[in-house]
Structure 1
Amino acid sequence: MGGFSPPRNYRHLDDRSRSTRSSRSSSGFLGLRSSSEILELPQNLTVCQLNIEGISKDKCDFLSKMALRERIDVIVLQETHTSSEMDLFSRGQIPGYTLVDFINSASYCVKSNFEDYQSIAKTQENNIFLLTVKIAGIFIINVYKPSNDQWPENLVLNYHPAIYIGDFNGHHNLWGYAENYRNGLALVSWMELNKLHLVFDGKTRKSFYSARLKKEYDSDLCFVTINNEVPLQASRDVLSGFPHSQHRPVIIKIGNEIKQFPSLQKPRWNFQKAKWNEFAKQVDSDLRWIPPTSINYHRFVGAIKNAAKKFIPRGFRKNYVPCWSDETKSFYNAYVSNPNPENADAVLNSFNKARKEKWNNLMEDLNFTHSSRSSWKLLQKLGSSNIAQPKTDSAISPNAVASRLVNVSNSVKLEKRAKKEMKRRVQKQRKKMKV
């Protein structure tokens, strides 16, 4: 035996990505954090946007628990249905959060221990409310447009870096509607005029459920500014629901992120680091003493395993960051010693460069004529077969289930003797409960 070479696909990781949570450095910029061999670049700001459809103390308590659970930094609300500041203070205090600013149906709240915020402007254009606040160096514009009003033309807003979130009430194919309406077309023109980028993923849950039409839509949108043809890094997710509101909470995470992959806690052979020449010599030496008969198959397997244990490393990684190279690690160490924006950008640029090289190599190695198995597997991962369908709320209410049980029970006919026996047992059980 000779000329051993490692298999092409030397490792298969059945991992699931895990998003990292936020932390800040003392300088206020994106902070890198290291904990027991875990390398991560977390988000800078987490924002929750919600059309609350009338604010109340009970809704504020529920919103506070949800925000603390999701680690929300900023809460952006629309349709508070408050007429004055006193009205908002009387029934719109969110425990753990401080009111920053408000305008009619829109308001801002930040964490009570948060200090880096500033109210910038309040604007009303054609009955459309724009509330601008600068938080942690990012302009956040709270937008609320009633459904019957038209989006204004030539509306230019020169904020950067900025994120526009709220209830836009416009229909367009870009965010999942079947048809393009006038408001949606005007909104797309405004987006192109201001050079904005739409943060939207059609695979996520819809942000609005119409109780009248029994359909789901995406009227709550998010736009970010673009710098050097690169949009502000942001991700959008929609939670399951909110009581007494047809809208669902939308979570916007602003900032760069390096995802880490927890490895499957199962030992694997690392063929890439194997000493194949020594392995071949060991196997050849052992096989000389094994007669080539079927009854010696177990001895042959034992010889292979023996040599593998000596010359092929076996184990598992506690965590895994794809495309994390030695160059990226050196930039990361430089950032740890000197946490400033330049070093953080160097980490991200090195990381993105390695990812681009890996993607280019992967595309160049695609060969459907020689071995199409890996190529089709990659296409399946990128295609619709790998889409995780979001969990939808059940349309059957508890009252409907109870009514069905009552109707079914009434259709069952019992004999008089059986009914009397059941009543007697119920009365007996009630007496025991009273005692």
Structure 2
Amino acid sequence: MDSYAQKIANINIYQWNARSIRSKLASFKQLLIQEKIHIAAITETWLESDYTLKIRNYVVYRQDRDSSYGGVVLLIHKSIKSEHIQVTHNNAHFEIIFVKIYNCQQINNIICFYCPSNIDTSQNDWDSLLSLANTKTMILGDFNGHHTNWSYKTNSRGDQILQSVLENNFIILNDGTPTRFQLVDGVLRQSSPDISLITSDMSLVLNWMVTKESLGSDHLIIKLSTKVNINIIRQRKRNFKKADWCSYTSYLQQSFSSAEFPETMQIAYDIFIKIINEAADLFIPFIKYCLLPENKFTPKPFWNAELSRSVALRRLALSRFRRNPTPDNHDLLLDKIRDAQRLMRIAESNGWHGFCNSIDEKTSPKD
């Protein structure tokens, strides 16, 4: 039987415009583990509808665009109970994933959002988006709107967003730190199209920062962290590896041979199930484990020192380019991005082949 308890847990959230998640997936999976990320809101995934995105220990909620560009994904760690809520919006170009959270007291709703920069929007569009939920709600995404409150300039979309934020009980977490960098005609252009919105009842519990990691996108990853009261689930499952199958089989044979089954189908069924459960209790022990978010991040077996070094060199190249945005430093950054992606693909492939060659009768299905 499951039991429930409440505990204060650290929850980490990533917000990122990937500009194609497939080409960066190996790096991103490793980052989820290293940084112990429980929720990830990803925009511009560029996924085809027939591509299956699976990440171990995460529930994947996604909305793809027909053109294979755009697209949004919300990843929710399986230790967090969640449900996708279907929503409609009057602006067909708004890409929205709405997920309800059930076992985190400080977070009720998370929305991942993307709107292309070349789309006309109205004040009503943003009011409608922010009215989807108004308590303990986060809206994370690439709004492609600028205002000097959070970016380097103000445009009409930025004015609309700010007005809706002020009228709908939301707060902008951005502190002016650029979230995107581009080399345009030899000049580094930095902006903040990626915005993090929360309702005012969450303002005291969240930390917000722009990381120094982009994984090869021209958008930097945003990290949000908080402590929440979470209802954790302690579960018991049978440990079939330690079962005494000989005694279990013998017990069933003796019990069934001596049992008297009446003609009433339901009573006979109840007796049958009772014998099965008695045998299991005697000869198949339980495993006790706790679905606590902090305990479910296992390093990838293929990760090695060479991969760590390639990631460090990629981050160093990004830092150098941002300090001195020359064409040479930009080319160096692209080279380090490609090197890291190539090494990860090779390591992941070799790890998979090695695992397949090691499979025998003792290999667990969980492996």
Taking structure 1 as the reference length, the TM-score comes to: 0.46
SS in 2 for 1:223: strand
- Alignment match of 1:242 (pick from 214, 217, 234): 214
Query: What is aligned with 2:63?
Result: 102
Query: What is aligned with 1:60?
Result: 25
Cα distance, 1:115–1:171 mapped onto 2, change above 3 Å:
closer
Listed as ranges, the matches of 1:417-428 within 5 Å are: none
Q: Distance in 1 between matches of 2:117 and 2:330?
A: 32
Q: Distance in 1 between matches of 2:213 and 2:154?
A: 27
Cα distance, 1:167–1:68 mapped onto 2, change above 3 Å:
same
- CA displacement 1:18-47 (0-9 Å, x = unmatched): xxxxxxx9545x61xxxxxxxxxx54x321
Query: What is aligned with 1:81?
Result: 46
Q: Distance in 2 between matches of 1:53 and 1:398?
A: 17
Taking structure 2 as the reference length, the TM-score comes to: 0.54
Structure of greater relative contact order (alpha carbons < 8 Å, 6+ residues apart): 2
Residue type matched to 1:187 in 2? I
Query: What is aligned with 1:252?
Result: 224
Cα distance, 1:68–1:190 mapped onto 2, change above 3 Å:
same
Residue type matched to 2:181 in 1? Y
Query: What is aligned with 2:114?
Result: 144
**Greater alpha carbon shift after TM alignment, 235-244 vs 214-223:** 235-244
Q: CA deviation at 1:254?
A: 3.5
Calculate the aligned-residue CA RMSD, in Å.
Answer: 2.8
Is the 8 Å Cα contact of residues 146 and 157 (structure 2) preserved in structure 1? Answer: yes
Cα distance, 1:185–1:194 mapped onto 2, change above 3 Å:
same
Q: Distance in 1 between matches of 2:43 and 2:139?
A: 13
Is the 8 Å Cα contact of residues 152 and 186 (structure 1) preserved in structure 2? Answer: yes
Q: Distance in 2 between matches of 1:170 and 1:398?
A: 26
- CA displacement 1:36-83 (0-9 Å, x = unmatched): xxxxxx54x321111111121x41111011111111001111111124
Query: How many residues align structurally?
Result: 221
Is 1:51 the counterpart of 2:12? The answer is: no
Structure 1 vs Structure 2: percent identity of aligned residues?
20
SS in 1 for 2:159: helix
Structure 1: segments with no counterpart, 5+ residues: 1-24, 32-41, 258-390, 402-435
Query: What is aligned with 2:303?
Result: none
Query: What is aligned with 2:205?
Result: 233
Query: What is aligned with 1:162?
Result: 137
Q: Distance in 1 between matches of 2:94 and 2:330?
A: 39
Is the 8 Å Cα contact of residues 207 and 218 (structure 1) preserved in structure 2? Answer: yes
Q: Distance in 2 between matches of 1:393 and 1:26?
A: 49
Q: CA deviation at 1:189?
A: 0.9
Q: Distance in 2 between matches of 1:46 and 1:223?
A: 16
Q: CA deviation at 1:399?
A: 5.9
Listed as ranges, the matches of 1:32-431 within 5 Å are: 43=10, 45-56=11-22, 58-84=23-49, 86-87=50-51, 89=52, 92-104=53-65, 105-111=71-77, 113-126=78-91, 127-135=93-101, 136=104, 137-154=107-124, 155-156=127-128, 157-159=131-133, 160-177=135-152, 179-202=153-176, 204=177, 206-212=178-184, 213-227=187-201, 231=203, 233-255=205-227, 392-394=319-321, 395=325, 396-397=328-329
Q: Distance in 2 between matches of 1:399 and 1:215?
A: 16
Residue type matched to 2:329 in 1? S
Q: CA deviation at 1:175?
A: 0.2
Cα distance, 1:256–1:243 mapped onto 2, change above 3 Å:
closer
Residue type matched to 1:145 in 2? C
Q: Distance in 2 between matches of 1:222 and 1:67?
A: 19
Cα distance, 1:400–1:102 mapped onto 2, change above 3 Å:
closer
Q: Distance in 2 between matches of 1:169 and 1:95?
A: 31
Runs of 4+ in 1 over 4 A off after TM superposition: 398-401
Is the 8 Å Cα contact of residues 151 and 187 (structure 1) preserved in structure 2? Answer: no
Q: Distance in 1 between matches of 2:330 and 2:162?
A: 41
Is the 8 Å Cα contact of residues 147 and 159 (structure 2) preserved in structure 1? Answer: yes
Q: CA deviation at 1:392?
A: 3.8
SS in 2 for 1:397: helix
Structure 2: segments with no counterpart, 5+ residues: 66-70, 230-317, 334-367
